[in-house]
Amino acid sequence: MASAGEPEFLTFLRSSAKPLQALPLARAYPDLPDHELAIACASHLAQPNQLAAAQSLLARAHAREDDLECGPEGDPPRRINHNCSGKHAGMLAVCRARGWPTQGYRLADHPLQQELRTEVEAASAEPHIATAVDGCGVVTFALPLRAMARAFAVLETLEAGDRIAAAMRARPELIRGEKAADTMLMRALPDWIAKGGAEGLMCAAGGGLGIALKAEDGAARALRPALAAFLGRLGHDLPDGFAVVSVENSRGEAVGEIVAL
């Protein structure tokens, strides 16, 4: 429907893949509560409510924190504090439900990661996509922005995709945090879902429309103004806090601003 910049720009889906990676989890556990499904889609900040949701999902997998194959984060460093621990707990739960080995679930030759690659290829309509290793150790997928937008546009039409979207909308505070662009976008547009990814990526969808934005320098600071400018063109006006982002120094003084020109 619309584009700006380079819609064929190829980049890694990174954590924006999490709603797609949660599809086998939602199918394996039809009664999974919103907080556990949302945390499987999250890049959380190790806040108490987020850690509680990740621990709950880990317990459902009959797994321990040491079974998580992401690295430790936080102070003191713990695997549950890693921003991807909810996704990893969900992957362990899928392995338990399907009778797959849990050791090495993150590796490309594991049946879980092979299935997830198939899910992403189907949703994006991009066969034989290139892959690499993400920051948390699982497989990540190289796609043009156009294909990422398509994957988000069709998410709710996929089996169990509607439950994933409903959980994200119900618990946006679990997806990242109150000042994060994806959580803020879901607050501003309650019928939408949004999920950020590393290196300045943002994917979102609502009403059958999917979008993918990438800050080419890899910084996330431009995402809110970009969302305001691009979604505004599509008839979705965003509130204050998006179009203009204040730049402050260490004294809390406003010394500049970020806007989309």
The tens digit of pLDDT for each residue in 24-52 reads: 999 999 999 999 999 999 999 999 999 99
In tens, the pLDDT along 83-103 reads: 999 999 999 999 999 999 999
Give dist(CA 158, CA 161) in Å, integer.
5
**How many domains would you assign to the chain?**
1
Residue pointed to by tokens 């400018």 = 229
The predicted model scores a pTM of 0.96
Q: Is residue 140 part of a domain?
A: yes
Peptide bond into 144 cis (omega under 30): no
Q: 197-227, pLDDT tens digit by residue?
A: 999 999 999 999 999 999 999 999 999 999 9
Q: Which domain holds residue 26?
A: 10-259
- Lay out the sheet containing 10-12: strands in order across: 10-12, 139-144, 131-133
Closest alpha carbon to 135 in 90, 197, 58: 197
Task: Give the residue-averaged pLDDT of 96-114.
Answer: 98
With contact defined as beta carbons under 8 Å apart, do 172 and 42 qualify?
Answer: no
Give the tens place of pLDDT for each residue, 3-31.
999 999 999 999 999 999 999 999 999 99
DSSP letters, 199-253, are TTEEEEEETTEEEEEE-TTS-GGGHHHHHHHHHHHTT----TTTSEEEEE-TTS-
Q: Within a domain: residue 24? A: yes
Residue 44 lies inside a defined structural domain of this protein: yes
Q: Is residue 3 part of a domain?
A: no
